[in-house]
Amino acid sequence: MLGMMRNASGGWLTKIFLFLLAASFAVFGVSASIFSGPGSSVISVGETTVDVLDYRLAYSNQVNAISRQLGTQITTAQAANFGVPQTVLNNLTSGAVLDENTRKMGLGISKEKLAEMIGDDTSFHDASGNFSRFQLQGVLRQIGMSEDQYLKNRTSVAVRSQLIQGVAQNTKLPDVFYEILGKSRAEKRIFEYTTITANDIVPITEPSDSDLQTFYDDNKINYQAPEYRKVTIVKLQAADIADEVGVTKDEIEAEYEATKTIYTKPETRDVQQLVFTNRTRAEAVAKRIADGASYDDIIAEQKKTTADVSLGNLAKTGISDKNIADAAFALPLNEVSEVVDGLFGAVIIRVVEINPKSIKPLADVESDLRKTIALRLALDSIDDTHDKIVDDRAAGETLIDAAKLSNLTVRNIETIDSTGRDINGDLVKNLPEIRKLIADIFSTAEGVEAAPTPIGADGYVWFEVEKIIETRLKPLNEVKAEAITDYKAEETDKAVEALAISVQEKLTSGMSFETILKDITKSEDVSARIQKSASLLRTDTSADLNGSAVRSGFSIKKGKTSVSDNNDTTGKIVLTVSEIIVGEKQDIEQANKDQQDGALQNDLLTALVDSLQSKQTVSINQEAIAAAFITGNY
């Protein structure tokens, strides 16, 4: 089998693991059986099982995906709030149902076809374009999978694809659907609308103790304190071990001589040039200047200013034309050159300012040089310091004592949550590699000696979780002010929505915007409250009407009304369709057709899985799921 794969030019690098996931995630998010590991089955469908290791892998992948989107490592409690455990369970169950049915149907794939499929995937070609068994074995060894296990899993994915493709591949919506869609997209509507806000209702009063308690009880999830961790941190970078005092005077003087060009400001000159299209004319002007004509007179004759002829205040290396540079830096101040052959014509040069070369004395840069040398020496010894700390801890020293032995500063952080904030809600400042460090901290148990987190390519940060402060429900007396504000905001939203629905009902009964708004505002002039939109497509928006409002307006018939949020969700838009304009049918782009067809195929696959699952006995082992969290340190 491996020989066939080699002939197919398939090569695996470190992407094998990702490939396994990607191939299985293509439809349902995870593989039904990526590993065959020890432990009880989490899911059983006929003869097909999903074990604890599968569940832990799928769960970890889902948590990491959400963490990347949020930019912070989420906790187990947060993952539960996002519904990760159930999502993972549903996806694994769908995969198992499909695998069990492919088994019953006797579907299979030849070794030759499997080798061809693997070989055709350019993601796994090595630098020479050939399959390498050595690389395959190395990568599989890292993820704890044998060659036979990989081939078995890849076969399962390929066989499952046969069932999926048989149901949904090349399924397309009919042309009549796109004709209707094109007409729908071309349609425009004009809306009459008003916005109901908190200004239109009676202000919400302070809640009674009973009402506040009920509100708190119904919204306890909003008053959860996050999990905090007390952490000791030791950072190792060049600046942390740099010894400026140990830098000798001889080292400073040697560094100064070696880097003197950095502290040298070259001579610069303010150079002017008169350019001529031919040398004969230039020589005639040069003779006039030699006979007493001034350079400024020639500038004026050419209808130019000194700014027009100035090259600026430049070092010699700043003048790209070598002939002009050599001539300009050979001239005395305010002298005029002979004719110089420049790259773009004959040139006559004048130097009007000379700034001599200058060098900062050693005394002015000694402090900077001392720091530079100390940092360079420290950088060279970072690995030695790293190894010393590792050896000291292996010998039984605590992180604090090991840090002191290497003269490193120990930082104690009393509280930090998974977003990098302390118990007061303030960001914990000056943390290196903050995202990676926090992720490492929150994936490490209390008291565990964790590996250091790298800081770029030239440093490390050690940490030790001293204490885990579990998430807790803040009591009402602790969040009373916040709860009162939340209560009043919610009641205000309810009252605004109720009034908007009342306006909608009155419009439906035949009353006008003007009559309704006069009753609400107790004002005779409500013209400013009644707005009329331009003609809008269903994908358009306006200053007042957001996408949600426009879509709701396209979901109703002419003369009907809808209610939707306004732009900042502080009010409700009540609108009615006053006019419908039929436009010329739009052509639907192929990319959009592909998207619509894809949605149809997904619906078909969902229906297939639902149908197959209804005919199978699916067993879920909750104890095994609990074991996945315990053994996986979740």
Helical axes 382-394 vs 362-380, angle rounded to 10°: 40
User: Residue 238: helix, strand or coil by DSSP?
Assistant: helix
Which of the 8 DSSP states describes residue 242?
A: -
SS3 (DSSP) at 237: strand
Q: How far apart are the first and last CA of the chain?
A: 38
Residue 33's pLDDT is 37
Task: List, for residues 216-266, the tens digit of each pLDDT value.
Answer: 999 999 999 999 999 999 999 998 999 999 999 999 999 999 999 899 999
CA atoms within 13 A on the CB side of 389: 29
Give the pLDDT of residue 37.
39
Instruction: State phi, psi for 329 to the nearest 5 degrees.
Output: -90, 5
What pLDDT is attached to residue 131? 66
Would you give the DSSP letter of residue 450?
P
Sheet (strand 340-342) strand order: 310-315, 268-276, 345-355, 340-342
pLDDT at residue number 28:
34
**pTM of the entire structure?**
0.54
Pick from 29, 44, 36, 33: which is nearest to 84 by CA? 29
Q: How far apart are CA 412 and CA 314, in angstroms?
A: 54
- The predicted pLDDT at position 137 comes to 64
> What is the reported pLDDT for 266?
93
Determine the CATH number of domain 267-356. 3.10.50.40
Of residues 266, 246, 267, the one with CA closest to residue 333: 267
- Give phi and psi for 627, each to the nearest 5: -65, -30
Helices 249-258 and 362-380, interaxial angle, to 10°? 100
Of the candidate CATH numbers 1.10.3470, 1.20.120, 1.10.4030, 3.40.30, the domain formed by 2-170+609-631 belongs to: 1.10.4030
Return mean pLDDT, the chain.
Answer: 85
CATH 3.10.50 assigned to 188-221+479-581: yes
Q: How far apart are CA 472 and CA 221, in angstroms?
A: 10
Positions in the chain short of pLDDT 70: 1-40, 119, 121-125, 127, 131-146, 149, 628-634
What is the b/e burial string over 386-406, where b = at least 16 CB atoms within 10 angstroms of the residue's CB? beebeebbeeeeebeebbeeb
Residue 122's pLDDT is 58
Residue (of 493, 483, 474) closest to 568 by Cα position: 493
Which pLDDT score is estimated for 633?
45
pLDDT of residue 21: 36
pLDDT attached to residue 548: 93
- Please give, one letter per residue, the 3-state secondary structure of 530-546: CEECCCEECCCCCCCCC
Q: Are 533 and 545 in contact (CB under 8 A)?
A: yes
Which tokens go with 236? 């190792």
pLDDT at 2: 33
